[in-house]
Structure 1
Amino acid sequence: MVDVKLLGLWYSPASHKVEWALKLKGVKYEFIEENLQNKSPLLLESNPVHKKIPVLIHNGKPICESMIILEYIDETFEGPSILPKDPYERALARFWAKFLNDKVGAAVNTFLHKGEEQEKGKEEVFEMLKILDNELKDKKFFVGDKFGYADIAANFVGYWLGVFQEASGVELVTSENFPNFCAWRDEYVNCSQVKEYLPPRNDLLAFIQAYAQASASKT
Structure 2
Amino acid sequence: MARFWIKFEEDKSSVFIAYFRSIGEEQEKAKKEAQEALKTIEHGLGDKKFFGGEKIGLADLALGWIAGWLGAMEESAGLKLLEPNMFPHLQTWIRNFKDVPEIKENIPHHDELLAYFKPLREKFIASSRS
Identify the TM-score tier after normalising by the shorter chain: 0.7 to 0.9
Instruction: Report if the CA contact (8 A) 1:111-1:118 is conserved.
Output: yes
Structure 1: which amino acid aligns with 2:16? V
1:213 aligns with 2:90: no
Instruction: Report if the CA contact (8 A) 2:19-2:34 is conserved.
Output: no
The structure that has the greater radius of gyration is: 1
Segments ≥4 residues shifted beyond 4 Å: none
Structure 1 alignment gaps of length 5 or more: 1-91
* Higher normalized contact order (CA 8 Å, seq sep 6+, divided by chain length): 2
CA distance in 1, matches of 2:59, 2:46: 16
Aligned residues with identical type, % of pairs = 36
- Alpha carbons of 1:168 and 1:101: their partners in 2 closer, same or farther (altered >3 Å)? same
CA distance in 2, matches of 1:102, 1:173: 19
CA distance in 2, matches of 1:111, 1:151: 22
Q: CA deviation at 1:217?
A: 2.0
TM-score, scaled to structure 2: 0.87
CA distance in 2, matches of 1:202, 1:161: 13
Structure 1 vs Structure 2 CA RMSD: 1.5
Structure 1: which amino acid aligns with 2:38? L
Q: Alpha-carbon deviations, 1:110-154, whole Å to 9, x = none?
A: 233102221121111111111111122221111243222111101
Choose from 102, 106, 110 the match for 2:14. Answer: 106
Corresponding position of 1:39: none
Q: CA deviation at 1:207?
A: 1.0
Number of residue pairs the alignment of both structures matches: 127
Corresponding position of 1:71: none
Instruction: Report if the CA contact (8 A) 1:164-1:205 is conserved.
Output: yes
CA distance in 1, matches of 2:57, 2:106: 14
Q: Which protein is richer in helix relative to its size?
A: 2
TM-score, scaled to structure 1: 0.54
Q: Which protein is richer in strand relative to its size?
A: 1
